[in-house]
Amino acid sequence: DTEVTQTPKHLVMGMTNKKSLKCEQHMGHRAMYWYKQKAKKPPELMFVYSYEKLSINESVPSRFSPECPNSSLLNLHLHALQPEDSALYLCASSPWGVSQGPQHFGDGTRLSIL
Amino acid sequence: SQQGEEDPQALSIQEGENATMNCSYKTSINNLQWYRQNSGRGLVHLILIRSNEREKHSGRLRVTLDTSKKSSSLLITASRAADTASYFCATKSGGSNYKLTFGKGTLLTVNP
């Protein structure tokens, strides 16, 4: 079992739907991340939150909207996605508020866009 | 762009053999990390080596870092079928407090 919990594990949605991915950690980490991973590729960084503030947006399309309601929770709101957005979405967290140490990953949400 | 490039892209060995994976990177780094990803799962951190370190061990894992060549290697000794996974190197550069840049990964298959 991982210490970063992501829900749901699988999500199928149409291009007009609105859905949210959720991520939770209780390790006291103050940096949290969203990654997108396509099959047989490395993770690609999307967003970084530090102390609940958005620190990095890697030029992600606005149809992805992150939210960090508190230090333990990270959401990714999805709207009007495209088929190419189908991927594994990984959440991670790290200690000290900066990525000096290792990141802890959840098992991801596998997203399919119809 | 991807900082790290793993070599080989795929490696198939027999149980009990050693597996060596290499990673090259382009810019100066603060540290280099190795992660494992089992099929359908998230990444698991294996080992971190800082730029002023040359070698590090953790159980059956041995990591080396050569900053002059901008390369690192991960050695898994006495491999087991459970080691079958993708292995990624990831670099943290000094210019960013938060960003890890992942290499393309090596798919290791350990045959029983």
Nearest to A31 among B44, B92, B98 (CB): B98
pLDDT exceeds cutoff 50 at B1: no
Contact A102 B45 (CB under 8 A): yes
Count Cβ atoms below 10 Å from residue B48 Cβ, excluding itself.
18
pLDDT value at residue B56: 97
Nearest chain B Cα to A6, which residue? B42
Number of domains observed in the structure of chain B: 1
Cβ contact A105–B92 (<8 Å): no
User: Mean pLDDT throughout A58-84?
Assistant: 96
Using the Cβ of A108 and the Cβ atoms of chain B, whether some distance falls under 8 Å is answered with: yes
Does any CB of chain A come closer than 8 Å to the CB of residue B3? no
pLDDT digits (tens, 9 = 90+) for A16-38: 899 999 999 999 998 999 999 99
The pLDDT score that the predictor gives to residue B80 is 97
Burial class (CB in 10 A: 0-12, 13-18, 19+), A88: buried
Nearest-10 Cα torsion for B6, B12, B18, B21: 0
CA B63 from chain centre, in angstroms, equals: 8
Tokens of B44: 């698991």
Q: What is the mean pLDDT of residues B27-39?
A: 93
For residue B41, what is the nearest residue in chain A, using CA coordinates?
A107
The closest CB to that of B100, out of A55, A99, A104, belongs to A99
Domain harbouring B62, CATH code: 2.60.40.10
Written as six digits, the tokens of B55 are 């070698």
Q: Containing domain of residue B31, as a range?
A: 5-111
pLDDT in tens, B69-90: 999 999 999 999 999 999 999 9
